[in-house]
Chain A
């Protein structure tokens, strides 16, 4: 929006002496692109483990449900929040009923207030992740009307479910897709690597500051719906 300040700042900048930028040197090689799918999964697992995150591979949606149940039992989930009913083919509501875990999907929450209430009191957030990156054990999530933001930041545990076909070697491969169409760029996109952390007190690092304390990633391999 135009304003006197804007004009003033831009005119000062534009009337400054221009110095043509020197040509860039060669861009670095993204060596992870040489990894095959098996190696990518290995690399992802090792990187995420170094951040205290756990990687699971589920052979299909049933296996994914079984893994979710194991995690729920180990962590003692009573209430979890999730995006929609369909989390990459995992019928999360029925899973909840089976395991006596109260599953709130954001479709059932009518507004921001009820979402906040649910997200800040849930034991875990189960999200579907759109991408994963082997380079650093990172998941990439597009946030839109099917994927609320708070589910992956407010609860103390974050479980992300990803089809293994969405595992890419480097961030560039993901960004290329997310930002491909200028008119369809999501309002919010995040790369998430492990749980939240800090080292602000005496440089002593620990996990679990404002975001999740634990992160688990479940890859669905040979996904069947």
Chain B
């Protein structure tokens, strides 16, 4: 099946290796990923800041780019949530755009949800001997209601021991502009997240939200440079058989 990749701005600009991982994994699992080169950003930063007119511009572009795709997959839950839940509301006073947005909302999937529910795969052929723990990002856990999918994928990695972190569902303190606008509070929150991670004794923290990743890895690099967090797609891909043998 053809799958259209929606690579969020954070991944495109700052962590393209996640996009590569998604592409390679989905290819290997039998989906045929395509990538529309004129995609940009879902507009969430503008929307969250309150620039609705400007966010509409981004939304309309997105709908134009992805409008014909049967399935859209993205490694960012917050972006998927933006498209699914906020595009229709954002465009509610322009009927034809609203209809297109509403219709699109049924065709966009978060990465782990797509692999488990649509491709019906839990074992992607990866192996990692070590302890792994998982951070439940706010948009994925609460806005999209996704929690079992990523954990199933991690647990199926041969040799991996998935351990639970305390307060795994607590917000990491990113919140986009919040991390810059309210740095002290944000720091207190990401500090807790990092400490909870360290207390599990896990070798790596896995999560599937790029924003959280920037935040947590940024903090870890400054304060605990030997520890790191990885995107789920990167974790699965980098530990896959073919990469290890390459």
In-complex A–B contact (CB below 8 Å) = no
On A, residues with C-beta under 8 Å from B are none
